[in-house]
Amino acid sequence: MRTVAHGIGERYEHETLLVRRGPRSGLPTVIAVHSTALGPALGGCRMWSYATLEGAVADALRLSRAMTLKAAVARLPLGGGKAVIRLPAGVERPRGVFREALLHDFAEAIERLGGSYITAEDVGTTSADMARLGRWTEHVVGRPAEQGGGGDPAAFTAAGVEAALHACFEHVFGARTLARRSVAIVGVGSVGGALALRLARRGVRLVLADIDPAKRALARALGAGWMSTADALRARVDALAPCALGGVIDAELVPELRCRIICGAANNQLAGDELADRLAAERILYAPDFVVNAAGLINVSLELTGYDAARAQRRAAAIETVLSDVLTRARDAGETPLRAATDLAHERLRLAQLAPPPPDDTGAQAPSTGTSALPTPGRGDPTHWGRRTRRPISARAHR
């Protein structure tokens, strides 16, 4: 079976799709590696309830492609991957011995890929889970700070979204200042909540929304408005910041939007890439999510060479410049920012594919297309570049 995903006007083949039923937990793990052209695929593990296994596979495929684009635009020597541990519909967050079994099963699946995939936390997993995984696999980042890791990347992701909002306001309103601007944050979990705190300090007028009514306490503490998620998506604000799960911007919602900017932390905010053109026609600026939320990836990636929080903060702030360049490129070419950012990522991937692959048993550098946030991994690093399989691998199922 060949695994195929589709993007803007182009066909994308994933290198690896592994689906394995855990021998301890009995639940399936999905790992999708979209590309290792720039380096080992790094992407978080999502522990979530899906109605079907097919839905979990589709999510992993879609998210891993976005991770490839994210790493390429951020100039990281990494590829794109994603993992999903599929919980049955209606199952609450696993705990105790059962969670331990799930993570052990997942670590075994990671090991089967020989270093081509590195995991990190995502929806439903934590830095404590990453520490547990480290008992069974070295291909993991996002450990707690007290163990030398970057810890919870939410604060860095939020800092990157704030930086991206500066670029968006400059592009749309001619001034990058956030004070007295209005922003609706849909989803005030770890990232959305951190973003709300940052924006409140900048004098932003906030509207918050979350499916968890307990999060209304944050709105009260910040003096922010509170709406249902449906109403917040349609609020008359300067910017809408989706910070929960993806796919919230669909064809039905587009004509009902009353914001000027969409710039948030959620992955795959658009139900389909074609909606970028619809948003442009409505004169709504959509900032590509894989550019906006890259600080979380940058933060955990720094663990591969020795974590430095100050460096992570500088790279998060630099997202303003990265996005500003994308928006300028889109304006000059008369295209959407999503197209411009995707084309930029593809250019870097094509350049990497023209470079000769590194030897299998040396610490040679991986291909680089420009200034990188990380030195390229070599032998002895957790990523094991030299052991990486470069050929496309057919989808494999293990039981």
**What digits encode the pLDDT tens for the residues 227-284?**
999 999 999 999 999 999 889 999 999 999 999 999 999 999 999 999 999 999 999 9
What is the pTM for the complete model shown?
Answer: 0.84
Statement to judge: residues 199 and 323 lie in one domain: yes
Q: Backbone phi, then psi, for 217, in 5-degree steps?
A: -60, -35
Structural domain boundaries enclosing 183: 154-341
DSSP SS3 for 26: coil
Q: How far is CA 223 from CA 116, 199, 217, 235, in A?
A: 46, 12, 10, 17
What is the rounded average pLDDT of the residues 324-349?
97
Among 299, 314, 341, the domain-final residue is 341
Query: How many C-beta atoms lie closer than 10 Å to residue 13's C-beta?
Result: 11
Statement to judge: residues 263 and 285 lie in one domain: yes
First to last CA, the chain: 17
Confidence bin at 399 (pLDDT 50/70/90):
very low
For position 241, which CATH number holds?
3.40.50.720
The pLDDT score that the predictor gives to residue 356 is 56
Residue 49 has pLDDT above 70, yes or no: yes
The pLDDT score that the predictor gives to residue 354 is 80
Statement to judge: residues 212 and 311 lie in one domain: yes
What is the rounded average pLDDT of the residues 368-391?
35
Task: Tell me the pLDDT tens digit for each residue of 24-47.
Answer: 999 999 999 999 999 999 999 999
The pLDDT score that the predictor gives to residue 9 is 38
Statement to judge: residues 196 and 327 lie in one domain: yes
Residue 203 resides in a domain? yes
Beta strand segments in 221-291, E: 225-226, 239-242, 261-262, 285-286
Asked if 82 is an active-site residue, the reply is: yes
Statement to judge: residues 9 and 120 lie in one domain: yes
The pLDDT score that the predictor gives to residue 125 is 94
Task: Report how far residue 167's alpha carbon sits from residue 327's, in angstroms, rounded to the nearest whole number.
Answer: 8
The pLDDT score that the predictor gives to residue 252 is 97
Residue 359 resides in a domain? no
Statement to judge: residues 159 and 127 lie in one domain: no
Q: Using CB atoms within 10 Å of the CB of residue 380, give its burial: 0 to 12 exposed, 13 to 18 middle, 19+ buried.
A: exposed
Mean pLDDT of the chain: 87
Statement to judge: residues 197 and 288 lie in one domain: yes
The pLDDT score that the predictor gives to residue 4 is 43
Task: Report how far residue 57's alpha carbon sits from residue 4's, in angstroms, rounded to the nearest whole number.
Answer: 12
Statement to judge: residues 177 and 325 lie in one domain: yes
Residue 367 resides in a domain? no
Task: Tell me the pLDDT tens digit for each residue of 268-309.
Answer: 999 999 999 999 999 999 999 999 999 999 999 999 988 999
Statement to judge: residues 189 and 305 lie in one domain: yes
Residue 145 resides in a domain? yes
In this structure, are residues 60 and 136 in contact, taking their beta carbons and an 8 Å threshold? no
Statement to judge: residues 174 and 71 lie in one domain: no
For position 116, which CATH number holds?
3.40.50.10860
Residue 12 resides in a domain? yes
Statement to judge: residues 121 and 12 lie in one domain: yes
Q: How far is CA 114 from CA 78, 190, 398, in A?
A: 15, 31, 15
The pLDDT score that the predictor gives to residue 13 is 80
Residue 361 resides in a domain? no
The pLDDT score that the predictor gives to residue 386 is 34
Residue 51 has pLDDT above 80, yes or no: yes
Statement to judge: residues 106 and 128 lie in one domain: yes
In this structure, are residues 94 and 47 in contact, taking their beta carbons and an 8 Å threshold? yes
Estimate to the nearest angstrom the gap between the alpha carbon of 259 and the chain centroid: 23
What is the rounded average pLDDT of the residues 6-29?
80
Ranges of H-type helices in the chain = 53-73, 96-112, 127-133, 154-173, 190-201, 216-222, 229-233, 275-281, 289-292, 294-301, 309-317, 319-333, 337-354
Task: Report how far residue 216's alpha carbon sits from residue 371's, in angstroms, rounded to the nearest whole number.
Answer: 43
DSSP SS3 for 206: strand
Residue 386 resides in a domain? no
126: CB partners within 8 A, 6+ apart: 152
Among candidate residues 34, 82, 132, 171, the one labeled active-site is 82
Residue 390 has pLDDT above 90, yes or no: no
Residue 325 resides in a domain? yes
What is the rounded average pLDDT of the residues 104-121?
97
Q: Number of structural domains, the chain?
A: 2
